[in-house]
Amino acid sequence: MMEANKLAVDVQRIHQLNSLLRPFIKRPSSGDAITFEQYRILHELAMEKVSTSELARRLNVGQSMISIQISRLLNNGYIDDETLATDRRYHVFEITPRGRRIEEHVSDVLNEELPELIQQLTEIVNAR
């Protein structure tokens, strides 16, 4: 009986965590609706040009997810595609000025709001 109660409490905590995180991760930023996954890609590209396979490795996600998000970021003008002159099959991606503005804005929001979010998450996890 104690195990069933503990499981019920854990499931409730997970539901609370999910409810708290979903709006934070999904909300649009600075008038441009980007997903958290797209932000993560822009954040990586703000540091250097990177290939699809390297992005997948760094973000620990599948290449198909990266390819879908790359396509959306390209279509919205947040990144550019560059092929190597020596191997036209190899593509690297670079953040555009528009993409950099979005990445900087979301980073500022995260820096401002993340401490409060972490506090709320800690309270949920530590609730007895």
The tens digit of pLDDT for each residue in 3-62 reads 667 767 767 777 777 777 666 665 555 556 788 889 899 999 999 999 999 999 999 999
- The predicted pLDDT at position 13 comes to 72
61, 100 contact by CB (below 8 A): no
pLDDT at residue 4, as a whole number:
63
pTM: 0.74
Dump pLDDT digits (tens) for 61-104: 999 999 999 999 999 999 999 987 787 788 899 999 999 998 88
Tell which CATH classification among 1.20.120.160, 1.10.1840.10, 1.10.10.10, 1.10.645.10 matches the domain 2-126.
1.10.10.10
Q: What is the dihedral of CA 120, 121, 126, 128, to 10 degrees?
A: 70
For residue 66, give the nearest of 78, 81, 74, 55 by alpha carbon.
Answer: 55
What confidence score (pLDDT) does residue 32 get?
Answer: 61
CA proximity to 77, closest of 35, 32, 43, 113: 32
Judged by DSSP in three states, 1 sits in: coil
For residue 89, count other CB atoms closer than 10 A to its CB: 6
